[in-house]
Amino acid sequence: MIVARRFEFQAAHHLPRHPGKCRNLHGHTYMFDVLCEGPIDEASGMVVDFADVKAAVQARVLDTLDHTLLNDIIEYPTAEHIAAWIWDHLEGSELPVVEIRLWETPSCYVIHRGGDRA
C-alpha cells in the first residue's frame, strides 16, 4: 500500500550554468508529494499516519526550504537536486519513503526514488 501527502513551499533560486533565463534569480511555488509504502498495520489500520508525515516534513524540509534562496542551502538547486535533498533529509526519519515527486511548475516535475542520482 502507498500513502502520499502533498506539500508546498515558496523559494527563489538561480542556475548560473543554465543557458537561458533560469540563470537569473527567480522564484517558484514548489509542490511535492512524499510517498510512503508498507503493509497496513493491524493495530492502527494504517501504513503511516498522515500527521506523522506532516510533522516529519515540516521539521526536516519545510522549516529549512520555505521562503529562502535555495542556492544558500543546495549547491546547484535544480528540481532534480531539490528532490534529492528532500529525500536525503527524510531518510533519517521513521517514514517508509519510497518516492518524492517535486513540481517546479504546474507542468514540470521530477521523481526521485532514492538511489537514482548520477
For the chain, 118 residues long, give each residue's pLDDT as a single digit of tens. 999 999 999 999 999 999 999 999 999 999 999 999 999 999 999 999 999 999 999 999 999 999 999 999 999 999 999 999 999 999 989 999 999 999 999 999 999 998 765 5
Establish whether 89 is a catalytic residue.
no
pLDDT the model gives residue 103:
98
- Which residue segments constitute the domains of the chain, with CATH numbers given? 2-15+26-107 (3.30.479.10)
pLDDT the model gives residue 118:
52
Establish whether 99 is a catalytic residue.
no
Which of 21, 23, 10 is CA-nearest to residue 69? 10
Query: Which residue is catalytic, options 8, 18, 26, 67?
Result: 67
The pTM for the full model equals: 0.95
Establish whether 14 is a catalytic residue.
no
